[in-house]
Structure 1
Amino acid sequence: MPLQSRHGSSSDLDELTLVFRSVRESSSSLVAPLSDADATVQSMPDASPAKWHLAHTSWFFETFVLAANLPHYRHFDPHYNFLFNSYYEAFGPRHARPRRGMLTRPTLEEILAYRAHVDAAIEHLLLEAPSPGIVEMIKLGCHHEQQHQELLLTDILHLFAQNPLRPVYRLGGDDSVAAAPPAASYEEFEGGIIQIGAGGLDFAFDCERPRHRVFIEPYRLSNRLVVNAEWTDFIADGGYRNPLLWLSEGWSKLCAEKWSAPLYWEERDGEFWTMTLAGLRPVNPAEPVVHVSYFEADAFARWAKGRLPSEAEWERVALNNPVEGNFLESDLLRPAAASATKSGMRQMFGDVWEWTSSAFAPYPRFRPSEGAAAEYNGKFMCGQQVLRGGSCVTPVSHIRASYRNFFPPDARWQFSGLRLAGDANEA
């Protein structure tokens, strides 16, 4: 369901109420296959338990919307502000992120009751004809929760990958896409001054604004994502053993953590297998490579005599493509091979987040959101790389061409892959 409606008539509020319900119900459905133990354990400091994701997104609505705008609102539990604040310094001290998996209590049942308490209060507030500012904060809360829906699945995959039993989270839908991807080719694009960034009054995060002009040189962009067969060739050619392909920090990380293949890949009887949300399965040569870091993507691009696109180059092409593809709603829960029958650019949206060469930095004239949401994005504009396009576990209504995701360059557990670019004058 779209999250782009503007505040105005009662029909707008009715639509927002439906959107709110849909987002909250989707989160609940994602934890349905999990036990209380599954939802409690934390597999690494960068991941969070599913139970924490459910509670934190409710804390966000409670803190940013209800406590400030609903008279006589009763907090579900005063301790939750300490337990489920993520990184908002303005709201006081909080439980340490690496120790979220120690929270055996509250139980999953209690967290679901917390969600029901918050849901009822938000719906009551929506009946009171809230101000435009409150409406925008509720929209932000919905998009914030969709971010955590994706993170919840990403973290569950990492957790289950640590279990020798290789448990199945859920069997995904059938992959009806062609078994072999189309041949990779480049499309040429003119250079010049273009505009990127979110415009208009539809919802966007503050880091997507303002819309501004960028100069780009003529360039080429691959018609599809890099696939597992190509990555296997990279491995066989010594890609993980050649320091000349790697950025210095990336090579240090490779050596320290002994990278030799994408995260979750393991070799069995001469063949690669990979852990997915549907359990362990053979690596499909035709599917896009996934769970690679920016360092790996950059090294592969250098090996392939290409480069990663800038986010401006990517967005310029994405604006001419509809937001459609393999998203969470497809229920495949893994990247799919590109259609061999479709012409032009493929997989600009969905399947895997695409690493770009762009650092996550403020756009010209950027100003963080005012008020409590000021800490949402701006404070992270250092040491992060931009990814574009969404993935197979991203809700489709959450994505637009201007969307800027960001992660540290060594992050691998996200559903991240790549598309090659090049300069237009290259042969």
Structure 2
Amino acid sequence: MPLDFPAGIDRATIVERFRRVRTDSEALSAPLSPEDCLLQSMEAASPVKWNLAHTSWFFETFILTSHAPDYEPFHPDFCYLFNSYYNGVGDRHPRDIRGLVSRPSLERVYAYRKHVNEAMTAFIEKADEKTLAAILPLLNLGFAHEEQHQELLVTDLQHAMSFNPTKPVVYEDAGAGERNAAPEMRWRRMEGGLCDIGWDGDGFAFDNEGPRHKIYLHPFELANRPVTNAEFIAFIEDGGYETPDHWLSDGWDAVQAEGWKAPLYWCKDGERWRQYSLFGEREIDPHAPVCHVSHFEAAAYASWAGARLPTEVEWEAAASLFPTEGRFMKEGAPRAPAPAPEPQGDELLQLFGDVWEWTASAYLPYPGFAVADGAVGEYNGKFMSGQMVLRGGSCASPERHLRVSYRNFFPPDSRWQFSGFRLARDIN
């Protein structure tokens, strides 16, 4: 796995990187009460307290217990309570009832974090160079893992808070007031041909982003920006949720079973649509990208619009032509998606850092992909079934994760992430 520290071993830099990622997690939880931190609103979402403990468990299990001979685990029960899905490590507490674990207390979880922080810092500072060089891939994975859980902490918390009838404000929106109009949707022509896909850089990337390989693309067109709220409202008002014509079979079943009438967190106030977020309930910005939609909703809209979703290969090939600038989560403060600026020529807008973009691609291994040895090999590979790929990163994604090769994946009915989409179409 590539390293963030390829040129020698700078211990101070590694310690600072560790400290920063740990501090960012705690900044996100700082405005919350102990009661907030225990909430679990569905099986797919975890309590804030569990996320804070699990990220500590990861460093404890894969680095300290395995590589620091003098390390003493914080508590023998924590390996069971805060293991997520690593069968190679041992048994784990059922995922769907994590919110019932009122003890250990939040205070005790913070003590656990402090214990792990001190042990990790001492280990990095004192380990011999050979040992430290050998575990750098695990350190980098641990940093990226905690950053992923920062994003999950935000999205899981929003889902839980949405059930509170007082519609609480949790964070101040750093992007409030940005109300510019969305530019006209335009189409960027891609000629196709043989192209290279996947990661092969010098920095960190997850194992599922490679190996880099060649693939042939047919010519296609990609929309210059994601679909907006106003455009999706037109789909709703045209009976999009009321007729099966444009829906995949499983998608229409989900509409019927779940009673979907609009994206998640939307509600109708007279003639106006409103949406709940961690910044409180607000009137929907018609120019911002639609988000909190499933793959099924994205595909149905695309069919209704006479287009389709891009494949992940098409998305990456097009995105490779543009820089990774976006409105990502930074310094413990999530942001809301905002309208795109006016395009310059035929550039693509909002590829990174507003909404995750659903693709038409199932989450599968690239040619030559190999699962890593040991329990850490369970990180990505075993989920390559029954899920769809999203690309680009959202406003809740950490800055370091915004790159063209990053592959996110969720079941096609998932809606609680900041997930939107852009359109593609074939060139005949």
TM-score computed with the length of structure 1 as normaliser: 0.96
Deviation at 1:122, TM superposition (A): 1.1
Matches within 5 A, 1:235-254: 235-254=236-255
Q: Which amino acid aligns with 2:412?
A: P
Query: Could you tell me whether the CA contact under 8 Å between 1:172 and 1:278 is conserved in 2?
Result: yes
Structure 1: how far apart are the matches of 2:367 and 2:23?
Answer: 38
Q: Which amino acid aligns with 1:189?
A: M
Structure 1 residue 206 corresponds to structure 2 residue 219: no
Q: Residue in 2 aligned with 1:166?
A: 167
Deviation at 1:76, TM superposition (A): 0.5
Any idea what the Cα deviations from partners look like across 1:89-112, whole Å, max 9, x if unmatched?
Answer: 011111100100001111111111
Deviation at 1:4, TM superposition (A): 5.8
Deviation at 1:398, TM superposition (A): 1.9
Q: Residue in 2 aligned with 1:340?
A: 342
From 93, 98, 110, the counterpart of 2:91: 93
SS of corresponding position for 1:173 = coil
From 27, 32, 35, the counterpart of 1:34: 32
Structure 2: how far apart are the matches of 1:342 and 1:251?
Answer: 39
Query: Could you tell me whether the CA contact under 8 Å between 1:48 and 1:100 is conserved in 2?
Result: yes
Deviation at 1:85, TM superposition (A): 0.2
SS of corresponding position for 1:355 = strand
The unaligned stretches of length 5 or more in structure 1 are: none
Q: Residue in 2 aligned with 1:273?
A: 274
Structure 1: how far apart are the matches of 2:102 and 2:264?
Answer: 28
Deviation at 1:116, TM superposition (A): 1.0
Q: Residue in 1 aligned with 2:383?
A: 380
Deviation at 1:368, TM superposition (A): 1.1
SS of corresponding position for 2:118 = helix
SS of corresponding position for 1:68 = helix
Paired residue total: 422
Any idea what the Cα deviations from partners look like across 1:279-326, whole Å, max 9, x if unmatched?
Answer: 100011001000000000000000011110001111112112222111
Structure 1: how far apart are the matches of 2:264 and 2:399?
Answer: 25
Matches within 5 A, 1:227-376: 227-329=228-330, 331=333, 333-340=335-342, 342-343=344-345, 344-376=347-379
Query: Could you tell me whether the CA contact under 8 Å between 1:219 and 1:421 is conserved in 2?
Result: yes
Structure 2: how far apart are the matches of 1:223 and 1:393?
Answer: 22
Matches within 5 A, 1:12-161: 13-127=11-125, 128=127, 129=129, 130-161=131-162
Q: Residue in 1 aligned with 2:398?
A: 395
Q: Percent identity?
A: 49
The unaligned stretches of length 5 or more in structure 2 are: none
* Alignment root-mean-square deviation, CA: 1.4
Q: CA 1:35–1:389 in 2, change beyond 3 Å: closer, same or farther?
A: same
Query: Could you tell me whether the CA contact under 8 Å between 2:192 and 2:216 is conserved in 1?
Result: yes
Structure 2: how far apart are the matches of 1:232 and 1:200?
Answer: 41
Structure 1 residue 415 corresponds to structure 2 residue 418: yes
Structure 1 residue 9 corresponds to structure 2 residue 12: no
Q: Which amino acid aligns with 1:368?
A: V
Structure 1: how far apart are the matches of 2:341 and 2:201?
Answer: 33
Deviation at 1:277, TM superposition (A): 1.0
Query: Could you tell me whether the CA contact under 8 Å between 1:226 and 1:289 is conserved in 2?
Result: yes
Q: Which amino acid aligns with 1:241?
A: E
SS of corresponding position for 2:88 = helix
Structure 2: how far apart are the matches of 1:173 and 1:202?
Answer: 29
SS of corresponding position for 2:99 = helix
Q: Which amino acid aligns with 1:9?
A: G
Deviation at 1:381, TM superposition (A): 0.3
Query: Could you tell me whether the CA contact under 8 Å between 2:9 and 2:133 is conserved in 1?
Result: no
Structure 1: how far apart are the matches of 2:201 and 2:286?
Answer: 41
Query: Could you tell me whether the CA contact under 8 Å between 1:174 and 1:332 is conserved in 2?
Result: no
TM-score computed with the length of structure 2 as normaliser: 0.96
Q: CA 1:227–1:4 in 2, change beyond 3 Å: closer, same or farther?
A: farther
Query: Could you tell me whether the CA contact under 8 Å between 1:178 and 1:339 is conserved in 2?
Result: no
